């Protein structure tokens, strides 16, 4: 067998292996591990929403947030402007969580049409804005060195 034939056989074997791996991935249970992103309207319209873990995205409705810090329980409404869904979440929310912002929650819709979530993610811009007012650099250095909270 010549070198050219060996290279050709190796190339054909590599292509066949790649096709086999792609076929296996497409036929495997990979789809069961995917988490889909839905709006409140899509969530309420879907027949299979109660069986799947999904990500629900929308805006936190102002005036609906209730946070029980002792039980680490958070409840609020999420809307896409057309449909509103009640969200109940265990655990404390991210620091930037507040009413009127975009949010993505991961969980399942229960039989009472309440979205049960253990993961809350907020949308925010990546732009840094300088704080208003004067900053006492000596106080900041002292605070950072001592691990205190700057007030």
pLDDT, tens digit, 9 for 90 and up, residues 42-67: 988 887 777 678 889 999 999 999 98
In this structure, the answer to whether residues 79 and 47 fall within a common structural domain is yes
* Domain hosting residue 86, numbered range: 35-122
Q: Are 102 and 92 in contact (CB under 8 A)?
A: no
In a domain, 88, yes or no: yes
In a domain, 89, yes or no: yes
In this structure, the answer to whether residues 77 and 16 fall within a common structural domain is no
In a domain, 26, yes or no: yes
E strand or H helix at 88: strand 84-90
* pLDDT tens, position by position, 104-121: 999 999 888 999 998 888
pTM, 2 dp: 0.60
In this structure, the answer to whether residues 16 and 81 fall within a common structural domain is no
The token pair at 22 is: 């792609």
Q: How are the residues of the chain apportioned to helix, strand and coil, as percentages rounded to the nearest 5? A: 30, 30, 40
- All residue ranges of the chain with pLDDT < 70 are 28-36, 51, 123-151
Rg (CA), the chain: 25
Q: What pLDDT, on the 0 to 100 scale, is given for residue 94? A: 83
């Amino acid at each position: 067998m010549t070198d050219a034939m060996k290279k050709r056989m190796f190339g054909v074997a590599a292509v066949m292996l790649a096709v086999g791996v792609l076929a296996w991935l497409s036929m495997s249970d990979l789809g069961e591990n995917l988490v889909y992103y839905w709006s409140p309207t899509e969530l309420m319209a879907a027949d299979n929403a109660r069986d799947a873990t999904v990500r629900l995205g929308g805006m936190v409705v102002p005036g609906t947030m209730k946070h029980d810090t002792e039980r680490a329980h958070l409840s609020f409404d999420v809307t896409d402007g057309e449909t509103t869904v009640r969200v109940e979440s265990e655990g404390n929310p991210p620091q930037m969580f507040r009413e009127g912002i975009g949010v993505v929650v991961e969980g399942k819709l229960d039989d009472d049409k309440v979205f049960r979530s253990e993961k809350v993610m907020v949308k925010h811009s990546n732009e840094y804005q300088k704080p208003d007012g004067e900053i006492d650099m000596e106080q900041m250095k002292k605070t950072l060195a001592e691990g205190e909270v700057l007030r």
